[in-house]
Amino acid sequence: MRTVGLLLSALVLATLTARGDDLRPQVDPELPALIAIYKDLHAHPELSRHEERTSAFLARELRKTGFSVTEHVGKYPDGAAAFGVVAVLKNGSGPVVLVRTELDALPVEEKTGLPYASQVRTKNDAGQEVGVMHACGHDLHMTSLLGTARMLVKLKDRWSGTLILIGQPAEETIGGAKAMLADGLYTRFPKPDLAIALHDTNDLEAGKVGVAGGPVLASATSVTVTMRGMGGHGARPETTKDPVVMAAQLVLALQTIVSRQIAPQDPAVLTVGSIHGGSKNNIIPDEVVLQISTRSYRDEVRSTILAGIERTARGVALAAGVPEDRAPIVEASETEYTPVTYNDPKLALRVKGALTTALGDKNVVEQKPEMVSEDFGLFGLEGRRIPITMFRLGAADPRQLAESVRTGKPMPSLHSSIYYPQYEPAIRTGVVAMTSVVLDLMKK
């Protein structure tokens, strides 16, 4: 893997050198230290709302770089404090630009076999023991942010304005952006004129980036359905109303919401990601809980999906003879909801120009809309509309990606237990790309 990383790095270096780019010589001396940071972050992941070590690490590194740093920014609806980090660097008059990274990892047991793989196990908020892994690349994002911070301090003579770097907690549970905004992010600190972020992808070769204007990521809503029955002995099912059977029927019936109730022209996804119920093989439980994720690009489609979940759950229960006082409980989360991520077209075009100048035409591609979701878009909706743009950072091995295209075998996706980025070329590209974008937006 190390050899592959070096070869990829050499290809990126050759491209940059051929163009005479002036950022690469500045980034290269920082790369060994940044790789060490990346591996440390990868080996020490923390779940959403529990990013204590990670936030302290990021804050410490940003202070060393010269930023004024505030920790513990964020307040959740239940009153709990968040581990948000806000770093500010004022460099004369000019625009206020916000750059965001995420702090949290996922409840995934890592199976990459890497020497720096996460061995972390902990209990989630439900009390279940889980493995923890940076399976979404937030460790890569944080490393790129720190590299960008170091570069922009070195290049202060080339930009003017106020730079705000934020470490956002709880992105994976779609609560961190709201928590930071609720704690006065835009009143306690300068309100940004523009907001930028990057996110890695395994659908694009390391060394390349993708960007587009308009809607790029779907809205998401988390829904919990509790199918309530009447439990009893497994040998006497006729005396019960079995919620396990109802849950099984519901999983299949829910798929018809997208296939038969949403127009084919409207992208939509409904995924049942978790089912929990029962305690023993010969006991029919009283209830089964299903956790569902919905995705859409229009509010009308979202409303249709949510209404369909409620109607379908009640219909399954009714068909099973469940009395009204034991009807299913359907709860759409108010906190685990995020709207469509909309890249401001003018800003996206400017970002694309800066990326093309920095990386070359062949390394900047048109980003395709995806059904994954993010709460980064909320930073552009608070108080007044703030132009935002998120671009994609390639992280895939080009040969592995080419083989995937040839054979049709999917690449390990984000959130997979075997996902890992080609970190060396991805970090270099991430730092060069984000630094170039900020320099363009804040140039004197």
Domain closes at, from 311, 337, 363: 337
CATH, residue 378: 3.40.630.10
Mean pLDDT for 210-219 is 96
If pLDDT is split at 50, 70 and 90, which confidence band does 15 have? very low
**% of the chain beyond a pLDDT of 70:** 95
CA nearest neighbour of 132 among 48, 202, 199: 48
pLDDT at site 18? 41
Give the pLDDT confidence of 283-295 residue by residue, as tens digits.
Answer: 999 999 999 999 9
Please check whether residues 170 and 306 belong to one and the same domain: no
Which is it for strands 388-396 and 232-233: parallel, antiparallel or unpaired? unpaired
Give the pLDDT confidence of 311-339 residue by residue, as tens digits.
Answer: 999 999 999 999 999 999 999 998 889 99
Cβ contacts of 404 within 8 Å, gap of 6 or more: 410, 411
pLDDT at site 444? 87
Exposure on the CB side of residue 194, measured as CA atoms within 13 A: 24
Please check whether residues 79 and 26 belong to one and the same domain: yes
Please check whether residues 364 and 263 belong to one and the same domain: no
Please check whether residues 83 and 128 belong to one and the same domain: yes
Q: Total domain count for the chain?
A: 2
Domain of residue 231 covers: 219-337
- Please determine, for residue 254, whether its predicted confidence score (pLDDT) is greater than 60: yes
Please check whether residues 289 and 148 belong to one and the same domain: no
If pLDDT is split at 50, 70 and 90, which confidence band does 16 have? very low
Give the pLDDT confidence of 159-195 residue by residue, as tens digits.
Answer: 999 999 999 999 999 899 999 999 999 999 999 999 9
Domain closes at, from 337, 370, 399: 337
Domain closes at, from 337, 371, 390: 337
pLDDT at site 21? 55
Give the relative orientation of helices 31-43 and 423-441 as an angle to the nearest 10 degrees: 110
C-alpha angle with apex 275: 271 to 279, nearest 5 degrees?
A: 175
pLDDT at site 4? 47
pLDDT at site 368? 92
CATH, residue 267: 3.30.70.360
Looking at every residue in the chain, the average pLDDT score rounds to 94
Please check whether residues 207 and 235 belong to one and the same domain: no
End-to-end CA distance of the chain: 42
Please check whether residues 303 and 381 belong to one and the same domain: no
- Please determine, for residue 222, whether its predicted confidence score (pLDDT) is greater than 60: yes
Please check whether residues 136 and 167 belong to one and the same domain: yes
Q: Where are the alpha helices (DSSP H) in 171-242?
A: 176-182, 185-188
pLDDT at site 20? 41
What amino acid is encoded at 137 in this protein?
A: G
Residue 384 burial class via C-beta count within 10 angstroms: exposed 0-12, middle 13-18, buried 19 and up: exposed
Cβ atoms within 10 Å of 427's Cβ, excluding its own:
27
